[in-house]
Amino acid sequence: MFLSEQHIHWHDQTVKKQNREKLNGHKSFVLWFTGLSGSGKSTLANALEMKLHKCGLSTYLLDGDNIRRGLNADLSFSSSDRKENIRRVGEVAKLFVDAGCIVLTAFISPFEEERKKVRSMFHHNEFIEIYVKCPLEICEQRDPKGLYKLARIGKIKDFTGISSPYEPPQNPDIIVDTHQLTIEENVREIVSYLQQRNYILTHC
């Protein structure tokens, strides 16, 4: 006899998310950064985490490259594996939210359907989608990892924006323009959004 789903039961915990939020002194939620490679997702998410950390808030940043070096090292960049990559990240982010943390995720997450699936994992107002908007030509000019150049000459297959599609969010909660505005300006814009909607009560 093998173990199956019928042998797996949810184990209720005595310490709840609400207890952890109270201990941390703020709500827990996800800030989901999506955008093309080179749009500035990781740079912006890192700068925002530094700002929130200095304000005394409990945070954790999940970055695409870092996750693929560990948890998702077994996944390729095929369409199906990209979907699985995002599903796993959503599950990890959900655990951090349950732990009472503010989670920042920096992933291309190119498919609208997969982002919607991740949003559905969370309660209302726990998932904030941030579209890091930047023209493809600007991302190519930046090309911090030299990936666009390799994709253009066919050395990288299934590369988002070149040989694989990127589907911009249809109704993102926040749009930041990293081409027109500085990282500092974008950080202020996101912090203002969070304060106006009472996600964070601390003056940053």
- CA distances for 108 relative to 17, 21, 198, angstroms: 28, 29, 27
Q: Is 41 annotated as a binding residue?
A: yes
Q: Is 70 annotated as a binding residue?
A: no
Q: Is 154 annotated as a binding residue?
A: no
Q: Is 35 annotated as a binding residue?
A: yes
Amino acid letter, 65? D
Q: Is 79 annotated as a binding residue?
A: no
Q: Is 161 annotated as a binding residue?
A: no
Strand partners, 133: 177
Strand partners, 175: 131
A 10 A CB-CB count for 194 gives 23
Amino acid letter, 124? H
Beta pairing class for 59-63 and 102-106? parallel
Short-list 23, 19, 14, 30, CA closest to 123: 30
Instruction: Please pick, among 79, 109, 120, 192, the residue that the annotation labels catalytic.
Output: 109
Short-list 103, 99, 85, CA closest to 29: 103
How far separated are the first and last CA of the chain, in Å rounded? 57
Q: Is 163 annotated as a binding residue?
A: no
Is 109 tagged catalytic? yes
- Active-site residues: which are they? 109
Residues belonging to the binding site are: 35-42
Residues belonging to the binding site for ATP are: 35-42
